[in-house]
Amino acid sequence: MTPGLRGTLIPCPRACIPTRWSSPPSAPRARAGSIHASSLPEAIKERLLALSDQRITTEGVVVIKAQTSRSLEQNKLDALQRLQALVDSVATLPKARKATKPTFGSKQRRLEGKATRSGVKQLRGRVRGLD
């Protein structure tokens, strides 16, 4: 289960059921309360809210719709697993980049490229010395 996000599974409203169906819908929407009110650490809350994910509303509510299976129980389990995966994806800290020194070979290649471009640009000028 997702720590701090107490989710409630809300089935699809009756209005979305075609009239020829006699069974209740099996597409629950997992609404995981407000991210702001959850007991998640502040760093994880900030990263969740910073995600550009359409499943997170502007109020900070996570809404996950699951309809991969015909079984309501299987869809509930799938929705909770996807909610857990979403929280786990922001729980790991991104690796900090270390600044590295360019290698000798990369410096040489850069300078050779600059010399080549410089030569090409010098040849674009007016022709001199033929007078």
Determine the pLDDT at residue 95.
87
Tell me which residue of 84, 77, 78, 66 sits closest to 4, measured CA to CA: 84
Q: Over 80: is that where the pLDDT of 131 sits?
A: no
The pair of three-digit structure tokens given for residue 119, joined into one six-digit string = 């030569």
User: Which pLDDT tens digit goes with each residue over 72-128?
Assistant: 888 888 888 888 888 888 888 888 999 999 999 999 999 999 999 999 999 898 877
- What domains can you pick out in the chain, each with its CATH number? 8-91 (3.30.160.20)
End-to-end CA, the chain:
87
Determine the pLDDT at residue 24.
55
Compute the distance between CA of residue 82 and CA of residue 102 in angstroms, rounded to an integer: 42
Determine the pLDDT at residue 68.
81
